[in-house]
Amino acid sequence: MNIQESKYRACVQLAAIGDALGWITEFVKTSSAIEKKFKTQTIDRFYDWEKLTGGRFNGYLDLIMSGSYSDDTQLALSVARSIQSDGGLDNDYFAKVELPNWLCYARGGGRTVKTSASKIQRKSARWFSNFYYVKSAEGGLNYREAGANGAAMRIYPIVLANLSNRELIKKYIFSNSIVTHGHPRAILGAMFFGLSLDTIFSFRTESFDSLKYIELIGNSIHSELNIDFISEFPYSSWISEWNRDYQPDFFSVYTETKEELLYLMRLVYRGLKENIGDKEMLEKLGCFNPETKSSGIGTVAAGIYFACRYYDNPQKSIINSVNCLGSDTDSIAAFAGALLGALNGVSVIPTLWRDIQDLKYLEQISDYLLGISIGESPILSKSYNGNPGKLLNSIEVDDFSEGDLVSFVPLGIGKVTSLRRVNTLTKGRYNLVLNVNFEIGQSCVFAKLFSLDFA
């Protein structure tokens, strides 16, 4: 395995590993709760664990197997399948095939991404026109104000497929981001993470200087994060709609957010230089504040901090980020993991982390993206039309058994490896939970709510 292949594989794998480890701690508030549940105060390996999903009354206890990743990795794989053999991004395919069907097997997805995935199914909605406003008991959700990290967490395949072509990286990330997020925090955070990842590929561990790296990427905030392509169609249509009956205008918010991002990176620089503690650093970045903990720029800055602070000890970097309880642990650890993998290669991945879910498929995806970047025009195995077996996209009847052949748009043919029927708190209902392994190499969990008299 050559150096570049090693870096590609490590980037994809360590991002998924950080996601899987951080998912365990994402909603845990104290180390005593960790100790009670896992008999340890520090999460440094995979565990089997449980999580209530699907709501209080109609939900079920999801049995999460050791090494399982969450929506961060699921959606990154969706983006990878949306990248064509020449490196181009099929936005229509991502928006109309991958994203809405992801809802059928989503694990740990946030409110913004799930809402966007639902709203993009409207016939009138294109990938560049998914504007919405949703009222709910939890408060209104406005596309223009969606500034969390749901875009940044999924875009690293775009970088790997177009390495060193920074204008294309930036444009493709912008395109993918606006399918789900409209606020510059989400868009800028995704583009900045993409350019930061592209930059770190050029370094070797032995010559890496974290402060010089921060200076280098910090300078790109004003020099490279312009969006001159916004005058082109369909971006011009998107910006016109964004600005319609809305103040302040997009470019005003975009400019303010660039300054906010620059301020955060200056905090990271000073934090590294002064060797402040991890939790103090994340506090300064707003990662413990409920209003900003999932910020598209704050969490990216935190991921960059952890990658730079422990660049020569990737295992410690991910473990420390995973155990900063109260922050968005899975996304921060995934950002740090992708950067550290791109810097170090697979040799830094410990054996106990090699049990990450779908390892072979992660390797296949990274090899596909590498092939694109070096001009080999590879073909990624994917099948989503005309497959035999019971269709999982719209489960109508509970007639499933272990070993059943199934099909699913866009993952193709699969097999039910196990299933459960779990009663809900609401009398007379239950959830059918299917574990499915697909021939392409990805495994997923599907759940469908039924009435007992409908079985």
DSSP 46-75: ---EEEEES-TTT-EEEEEPTT---HHHHH
pLDDT at 385 over 90: no
Residue 148 belongs to a domain: yes
| Structure confidence at residue 455 (pLDDT) | 44
Q: Which of 373, 399, 421 is the last residue of a domain?
A: 373
Q: In this predicted model, what pLDDT tens digit does every residue of 266-291 receive, in sequence order?
A: 999 999 999 999 999 999 999 999 99
What CATH number does the domain containing 441 carry? 2.30.30
Q: Both 128 and 196 in a single domain? A: yes
pLDDT at 91 over 70: yes
Beta strands in 97-189 (DSSP E): 133-134, 141-142
Q: Both 329 and 429 in a single domain? A: no
Residue 116 belongs to a domain: yes
- Report CA-CA distances (Å) from 93 to 57, 104, 252, 309, 329: 34, 17, 31, 38, 30
Closest Cα partner for 268 from 231, 217, 344?
217
Residue 383 belongs to a domain: no
Average pLDDT on 200-216 reads: 95
Q: Both 274 and 335 in a single domain? A: yes
CA angle 171, 172, 175 (to 5 degrees): 90
Domain of residue 415, residue span: 390-454
Q: Which of 328, 344, 373 is the last residue of a domain?
A: 373
Q: Which of 348, 373, 398 is the last residue of a domain?
A: 373
Q: Both 57 and 156 in a single domain? A: yes
For 214, residues 6+ apart whose C-beta sits below 8 A from its C-beta are 265, 268, 269, 272, 304, 308
Q: Both 85 and 181 in a single domain? A: yes
Q: In this predicted model, what pLDDT tens digit does every residue of 155-197 receive, in sequence order?
A: 999 999 999 999 999 999 999 999 999 999 999 999 999 999 9
Cβ burial of 44 (10 Å; 0-12, 13-18, 19+) is: middle
Q: In this predicted model, what pLDDT tens digit does every residue of 304-328 receive, in sequence order?
A: 999 999 999 999 999 999 999 999 9
What CATH number does the domain containing 200 carry? 1.10.4080.10
Residue 48 belongs to a domain: yes
Q: Both 220 and 299 in a single domain? A: yes
Computed from CA positions of residues 440, 442, 448, 452, in that sequence, does the dihedral angle turn out positive or negative?
positive
Residue 81 belongs to a domain: yes
Residue 382 belongs to a domain: no
Q: At 312, is the secondary structure helix, strand, or coil?
A: coil
Q: Both 364 and 396 in a single domain? A: no
Residue 400 belongs to a domain: yes
Q: Both 335 and 413 in a single domain? A: no
Domains identified in the chain, total number: 2
Residue 23 belongs to a domain: yes
Q: Both 293 and 358 in a single domain? A: yes
Alpha-carbon gap, residue 84 to 380, rounded angstroms: 9
Q: Both 105 and 245 in a single domain? A: yes
Q: Both 346 and 226 in a single domain? A: yes
Min mean pLDDT across 88-97, 243-252, 377-386, 408-417 is at 377-386
